Structure formats: C-alpha cells, structure tokens
Amino acid sequence: MLKILDFFNYAQSESPWIVHFCSGCCSLEMAAATGPRYDWERYGYMQTPTPRQADVMIITGLVSKKILPALLRTFAQMPEPSYVLAIGACAYDGGPYNESVSVIKNMTEILPADAFVAGCPPKPEAIITGLDIIKEKMRKGEPSAASQGGLWKQMNF
Amino acid sequence: MQQLQNLIAGFNVSSCEPYKQCWIKAKLTTQDDLISLATALKANGLTSLITVSPTDFPDDNRLELNYFFEDLLTRRNAWIKVDIPRELDACQIPSLTPLFPSVNWHEREAFSTFGVRFIGHPALEDIFISEDFIGKFPFRKGFDWQAHEANLIENMACIVRGFEREHAINDARMGKGSHTTLNWGPTHPASGPLRLRVEVNGEDIISVKPDVGYVWRGLEHLVEGKDFVGALVAIERICFMDNTNAMICYAQAVEEIAGKPITPFASMMRVMLGEIGRVVSHLMGIGGFFNTMGLVTLQMWALDVREYFLDVLEDYSGARIATASIEPGGVRYPLKLALLVTLEAAIAKYEATRSEFYAIFINNPTMQSRATVVGIITPEMVLNNGLCGVVARASGVKTDIRLDEPYAAYDKINMTYMLAEQGSAKNRFEVLFKEVDQSMDILKQAIADLRRGIESGEYRPEKDAMVRIPKKLPDGEAVSRVEWSRGELMMHLVTRKSDETPYRLKIKAPSVNHTMMLETLLAGKTLSDIPLVFGSLYICQGDLDR
C-alpha cells in the first residue's frame, strides 16, 4: 500500500500543474520560463487556466490589497496538497514597493510559501529551481506550508 | 503656434508663453473661463485632453490643476493651469468630460486621489484606488499613510465587503432569462490583473465596465519619498515590458529642471536602449495577441527572439528586465564595443525568423478573417479619445513623439510613421510587426553612429556616459514626453528648492485611454471577441494602474 502511494506522489511530482494567475510583473519572467530557451515543460511544469486542476500556485511578485481576495480565493479552490511558490522580492516584504501602502508587505505570513525565489524579477532559471524544491516536497508527500498555518485561514475573502 | 498663443492670451490669463517646441503654457486667473477656453481650443483642433494633473500646495492653500491639450495632427499643444481652493468643500471645478471624452478616467483619478470634484462629470466614481482609500484622498500632502497602514485587517475587510456588495447586486439580477453579469478576470489567463464586468444576454454583450486598480501601487506617491535617482526604482516598474523608455522620460524631466543637457553619446545610447526596450515589449505584445486567439506558437517564437535582446540588456546592465540603465544625466554604464556585436547577433536572429513570422502568422487566413471585423477604431475615435501609439497609427493617425517632438538623438535618425488604414485588430497587429522592423532599422543606424563616433574620437564612452546632476534641484516644473512602446508616455514633474525628492510626479500612461475604449468597442459584440479586442489594444495593467 505504501509503495502505491509513493508511486502517486512520484507521478504527481513529475507533472506539477501551475495555476495561471498573475498578480504582478514577475509573471513576465514566468512567461520567459515557458519560452523555448528555458522551457519548463521539460521538467513537467505546465500552466493550467483553472485552479481546480492545479498543484502549485505561483505568487508572481507584487500582491496589492485589491488582488489579495482573488488570490486567496483561487488558492482555496485548489485541491490538496496545494503548494505555493513565492517569487520576487515583493512576495516576501513588498520589495521595491515596501513604502507603498496599497501593497501587501507580509505575504509570507498571510499565505506561507513552500519555496521563495529572490530577485526583482528572478531569472527564469531561478524560478525553475524554486519549482524543483516543491517537486522534492511533492515526491516525499510533505504537506504544503499554507495548509499548516498562515493568516489566510482567519481572513474573509 | 502664434495663432494659438493669441487665442489663449485672449482669455483671463496671468501668463501665456511658448514652452519647448510645440507647447503653449498658460495660467488662467479664474476657473470661470475654463469651459469657454476648452471649447475654443477644441474648435481649433486640440481635440485630445490627455490628462489632468493636480498639484497640492498646502502652504498657499491651493490645488493647481494642469490640463494638457493635444492636437495629434498639427502638433500644437496647450498646457493650461488653474488654481482651485484646497478645502474639500470648495475643491471643485467644471468637468471637461462632456467636451473631451478622453479625460473621463483622468478626472475620476484626480477625484479619487486629490478629492477634486468635477461638476457635471457623467459618473464621478472612484477609480484605481482600492476600497479602503475611498473618501480619504491619499495623494494630498499630509495624508497619514502610516496610520492608514496600521489597520491592515480592517482595510482588507473593507475591500472584501466591496466585492460582496457587488456580488449581491449581481446575484439579485440572476435568473431573469439568460441575462447575467460575468467577471472576465482578474484570474482569466488572458486578462492579467484587471476585471471586466461583462453584462451579457446569452453570448451577446450588452455592456462592459472595466474594474481596474488591481496593481495600483501609488507610484506617483512612492517617488515623493525617494531622491531623484532612487525614484528610478519606481519609475522603471511602471511596466516591465518596456522599462527603458519610461526611464528616459523621467530622466529628461529632471535634466530639464536641472538645466543640464546630456552628451550626444548618451543621447545616442538612449536611442539604442530605448529601441531595445521597444522590441522586447512589442515581441511580447505580438505573442500576446495570438495567445488571446488561442495560438501559443507565435508567443513561443517571439519569446525566443526576445531572449536575444534581453541578452543585450543583461550584458549592458547586469539585469534582464529591471535594468535601471538610464538615469538623470545620461546612461548609467559606459559602452563596450562588444555589446554592439551582441546586439547585431540579436538583430540577425530576428531577421532570420522574420520571413517565417510573416508567412505563418501575418498572412494567416484565420487571423485575416477573424481580426478584420472586430475592434475597429476610426480616426475620429482616436482624436476624441486620446488614443496614441500603435493603436492610433493603426487607424491612420500620424502621431509618434519620436518624430513630433524629437528627444534623445531621434533627430539624427531617419524614420517615418508606421501606419495602417482600417484600424481593426489585424491592423494593430500589423503595425506592431512593422514597428519591430522599424526598430531594427533604427538600431542599425544607432550602431553605425556609435561605431563611427567612437572611432573618430567624437564620443568618449567612458567619460560621456554621465553628466553630474545636483542632488537638489531648483524650483521648477517640466513636462516630458516619449514614445513608449504602447504610446505616448508623459510625465509632469514639479520640484521645490532644497528638496531632495520630487514634489509631485504625474505619470500619464497610454493604457488608461485604451482600456477606456473597451466599453465602446465591445458593446454589441459576443463574448468570444473580448480576448481578441483586449489583446489587440496592447494594454499593460502596470501602466494602467501605476
């Protein structure tokens, strides 16, 4: 029985689908990662338009207050285990918008990420490396960080 | 120009003088004359009122409104100022939206951020700002951002309540036949962070109402806390698709106030970097257009070519996208001749792929038949709605700031307007392609000029890159325009003596007016036309919301 479950984890980790959600400018480098030079589909990563079929959500940098409810709603629609990859300085502490009041500056507290990729914006190679960390988590069957805690559980969205 | 100056001088003005090549700058003594002056300007061909920019002077207890009128055809522009009282009760002025539809959202923006009430505006609702800022007018001097920030949870709840109210209204409307309200975005794969409230009857669109502000960062306020160079961090993030031209625009405004012209070498470098930015952005736009029609292949090919140009930016500045390569005073880094070789390789890569682009995509019969019938923009719509850039040129309107008011070293470049006639989605796509070709040509001219200049010793790439700009600028204000990849980008910068930070920066970005057009273009069409029309308008949410 254990072996079969391991196999499912393995199978899932080789083909993580990523929900197509863009909240900030880092999605430009995400697009570059889908392009021919970096081509993340080599590793099985693919974008899907619906959260219902997605395994991973990428927080693409900046999250403004207005988009946060939509982001959390999209995340809540994903089936378990739903992993989160945060990319870009903004997704950590607001980055260059740290002094702007319309931008969320504690995204990691609200929706804890399983991996964080630094940069503004991070290079496509770095984004793929970040996804590899999540892949490793999937293979081991570890629960996602966001399911363990985070302010998002107390928030109304 | 003289005639325009005489016309304006005929009103109650305290000053009226020419400004730069194609502007008349004047200040009205009273707001009573505004409507009659605007009517006269419109009758004289200045049909686009491109933006209204308030500046707050709490010391003098006044708000200064700056109106920017443009005539795209004859390049005569007017910059009209008028003072209004600062107290919220008295802070009002007649709306110009009934005369100039182009200023609709700009007046709403001034209302949301500064609390200026425009009397007679058809629907003076808040825009861009999120729900928690409504009624607080955050761009006024003295607004306490820290105190507002302290209530994050309550602010979030306020935003959610706004959405819930709207859902309740939509729910109440449901169940009457096939009449319903759909949300297109912000999670739609083609939309980006923007939402269209689409009222439909079955497949047919009754009306479209865009909901914007999902990436509102308050950039104009953000720069007020940074020094003149540090502000670039915010400026280049207006939109990452083409960040070099935005920096050129800002740098020009600072240089004008400081009174320091840059070197010919730095001007030519700006042309080169600006055109690379344009190519990078246009290739994204080209890919995005076909992507919205459901064909990913072109995007992949365009991304492939784009990488070669990003290599050039990376070689030059160390970053692929956030280059921060242009700052007030010139360009940040000297030029190594090897960079020109990398750039030539990128141009060769594009030229090798170009014929395939044309054979497969431009002459694609599906695209030809699908995209010629939707999203048609007439030249009149361009002139009345303040459209610019690719969208305007695809309708046959000759406008291009690079030619109309040459900046950097564009006066040394041989180029023409890239035009199309019908103004359909297909035409806009074609103009995008033609402009990439044009940029390649400009890049070649720039490379040749840089090589010649460096070899003859006219340019000294080590010494000429930067001119020192003082940390503190004198009292002053400047208007700077560049042809951004998506159209005319204008910045209005106000500085005060002994301040190390900009006092006020207004950014007029092209996507605002283009998004405004969606309401007109999509009414009466079907749901499946939304992505195509949206994709063809080449909108970037970054510069829409700022």
Nearest to A101 among B145, B186, B189 (CB): B145
Q: Tell me the helix, strand and coil percentages in chain B, rounded to 5.
A: 45, 20, 35
Residues B312/B276, Cβ–Cβ less than 8 Å: yes
Question: Cβ B284–A47 below 8 Å, yes or no?
Answer: no
Q: What is the pLDDT of residues A91-114, one digit of tens each?
A: 888 888 888 878 888 888 888 999
Q: Given this model, what pLDDT does residue B440 score?
A: 92
Here the tokens at position A36 are 């021919």
Looking at CATH, the fold of the domain delimited by B2-142 is given as: Beta Polymerase; domain 2 (3.30.460)
Residues B417/B393, Cβ–Cβ less than 8 Å: yes
Interchain contact A46–B (C-beta under 8 A): no
Nearest to B321 among A62, A100, A121 (CB): A121
Q: Given this model, what pLDDT does residue B176 score?
A: 67
Question: Cβ B239–A25 below 8 Å, yes or no?
Answer: yes
**Which A positions 11-40 lie with beta carbon below 8 A of chain B?**
20-25, 27-29, 31-32, 34-37
Question: Cβ B222–A62 below 8 Å, yes or no?
Answer: no
Q: Which residues of chain A have pLDDT under 50?
A: none
Distance CA B249, CA B257 (A): 13
**Which A positions 85-114 lie with beta carbon below 8 A of chain B?**
96-97, 99-103
Partners of B124 in the β-ladder: none
Distance CA B390, CA B420 (A): 10
CATH number of the domain enclosing A15? 3.40.50.12280
The three-point CA angle B252-B388-A24 to 5° equals 75
Question: Cβ A37–B307 below 8 Å, yes or no?
Answer: yes
Question: Cβ B217–A97 below 8 Å, yes or no?
Answer: yes
Q: Given this model, what pLDDT does residue A12 score?
A: 83
As a dihedral over the C-alpha atoms of residue B526, residue B528, residue B531, residue B532, rounded to 10 degrees, the angle is -80
Q: Given this model, what pLDDT does residue B443 score?
A: 92
Interchain contact A45–B (C-beta under 8 A): no
d(CA B159, nearest CA chain A) in Å: 7
Question: Cβ A67–B214 below 8 Å, yes or no?
Answer: yes
Distance CA B165, CA B163 (A): 5
The predicted model scores a pTM of: 0.90
Interchain contact A156–B (C-beta under 8 A): yes
Number of domains making up chain A: 1
* Whole-number average pLDDT of chain A: 86
Supply the DSSP symbol for B362: I
For residue A117, report the phi and psi dihedrals to the nearest 5 degrees.
-110, 120
d(CA B375, nearest CA chain A) in Å: 25
Here the tokens at position A9 are 């984890």
Set of chain A residues whose Cβ sits within 8 Å of the Cβ of B237: 25, 96-97
Which of A42, A50, A66 should be substituted to probe chain B, the one whose Cβ sees the most B Cβ atoms within 10 Å?
A66
The residue segments making up the domain with residue A124 are 2-153
Interchain contact A47–B (C-beta under 8 A): yes
Question: Cβ A96–B234 below 8 Å, yes or no?
Answer: yes
Domain ranges for chain B, please list them.
2-142, 219-545
Supply the DSSP symbol for A142: P
The three-point CA angle B118-B123-B124 to 5° equals 40
What is the maximal distance between C-alpha atoms in chain B? 77
- Count interface pairs A-B at CB distance under 8 A: 120
d(CA B376, nearest CA chain A) in Å: 28
d(CA B47, nearest CA chain A) in Å: 34
d(CA B486, nearest CA chain A) in Å: 16
ipTM of the complex: 0.88
- Written as one letter, the residue type at B199 is E
Q: B219-545 in CATH: which number?
A: 1.10.645.10
Closest to B523 in 3D by CA, of B210, B207, B180, B209: B207
Question: Cβ B214–A157 below 8 Å, yes or no?
Answer: no
Distance CA B174, CA B168 (A): 10
Set of chain A residues whose Cβ sits within 8 Å of the Cβ of B539: none
If you measure CA to CA, which chain A residue comes closest to B156? A65
Tens-of-pLDDT digits for all 546 residues of chain B?
888 888 777 778 888 888 888 888 888 888 888 888 888 888 888 888 889 999 988 888 888 899 999 888 888 888 988 988 888 888 888 888 888 888 999 999 999 998 888 988 888 888 888 888 888 888 888 888 888 877 777 888 888 888 888 888 888 877 667 788 888 878 887 777 888 888 888 888 888 888 888 888 888 888 888 888 888 888 888 888 888 999 999 999 999 998 888 888 999 999 999 999 999 999 988 888 888 777 888 888 889 999 999 999 999 988 888 888 898 988 888 888 889 999 999 999 999 988 888 888 878 887 788 878 888 888 888 888 888 888 999 998 888 888 888 888 888 888 888 888 888 888 888 898 899 999 999 999 999 999 899 889 888 888 888 888 888 888 888 999 999 988 889 999 999 887 888 899 999 989 999 998 888 888 888 888 888 888 888 888 888 888
Closest to B350 in 3D by CA, of B313, B319, B309, B315: B309
For residue B48, report the phi and psi dihedrals to the nearest 5 degrees.
-105, 120
Strand B117-119 vs strand B179-184: parallel, antiparallel, or unpaired? unpaired
Set of chain B residues whose Cβ sits within 8 Å of the Cβ of A66: 130-131, 159, 213-214, 216
Helix, coil or strand: residue A27 = helix
Q: Given this model, what pLDDT does residue B441 score?
A: 92
For residue B466, report the phi and psi dihedrals to the nearest 5 degrees.
-130, 145
